[in-house]
Amino acid sequence: MIRGVIEGFYGRPWTHDERLDLIRFCAVEGFDTWVHAPKDDPYHRQRWREPYPGPEAERLAELAAECRRAGVRFVYAIAPGLSIDYASERDFEALTAKREHVRALGAADVQLLWDDIQPTPESGRLQSQLSNRFAGGGPLVICPLGYAGTGDSAYRRAMRDELDAQIVVYWTGPEVVSLAIAREELDAAVSRFGDRELLIWDNYPVNDFDGERLFLGPLRGRDPRLFEGRAAGLVANGMLQAVPNKLPLATVADYLRDPAGYDPVVAFERALTRYGGEVIDALGPPGVSVTEVSDTAALVDALALGVDSATAASLLRPFA
């Protein structure tokens, strides 16, 4: 089962030092996969055809080397959908050349992302056929256009008919940002994609839709039975604020270690003990007066819908 973290948000990407720090955090917490997919990395999406120039290439290679030292798999994701010509042999050659480029820098795997682009009636067929060719009969993870929900569509029917059975598809749950994911919803989505394995792209604690609101509480609402079904694993999409991710992501790690035994309050208490002080320092001084909460369970409830950094610092300080 894949236990991962993905830098997959819109907005200012994490700095190089922040990424190195979070890779080491991933190793400590038992995550085994790091996916590099920041939407505003120009060479990931807008300028996908181009290799990384010297300094950027050196930094990517250093991330891959740090992952190897930490025992974490470094995965690169490429998102060519904004401008690729599906019929162009030159574009396909550019795509495969980019894969070899990042592999030479140390990427263990390369994923193919088709998300967040304008659909056409032929998107499902064309993306399936190009994904199949890119995979070459081997394993591949892709992110489809229709990555959320359990309903059917022409796009998903095309993927059922066209996409190679070995290819794993990302799915974010019943919603783009899912408050809960049930086993029955997973099973329905698996069926919609042709009974293939799905990799859960969990949009928690990501906050690029409201960058001032931080989701610092524990992961909640994830069915412990998900991995008894056709879920290949879960990768958690982080917030823009690098260090504060450590509180919620540590609880994601606890859930992935033992879904059946996971207790969000207990997991959050452990995360607070280990990372609370560091997160409070990163949040800055408390700037508002808040009503103090009495215990960790009440703190979890207070953080559940997200809070600004000043409120977060005020709420967390008595517990860290």
Q: Please give the positions annotated as active site.
A: 116
DSSP reduced 3-state for 277: helix
How far apart are the two ends of the chain, measured CA to CA in Å? 32
Alpha-carbon gap, residue 240 to 198, rounded angstroms: 25
Q: DSSP string of 75-142?
A: EEEE--TTT--TT-HHHHHHHHHHHHHHHHTT-SEEEEE--SS---TTHHHHHHHHHHHHHTTS-EEE
Helix (H), strand (E) at residue 299:
helix 296-303
Q: What are 111's strand-pairing partners? A: 77
3-state secondary structure 37-88: CCCCCCCCCCCCCCCCCHHHHHHHHHHHHHHHHHCCEEEEEECCCCCCCCCC
Tokens of 257: 């270690």
Closest among 210, 216, 243 to 315, alpha carbons compared: 216
Q: What are 113's strand-pairing partners? A: 143
Classify the phi-psi angles of 106: left when phi > 0, otherwise alpha if psi is within -120 to 50, otherwise beta. Answer: left
**What Rg do the C-alpha atoms of the chain give, in angstroms?**
20
Instruction: Name the packing angle between helices 123-135 and 154-162 (round to 10°).
Output: 30
Note whether 132 and 162 are within 8 A (CB): yes
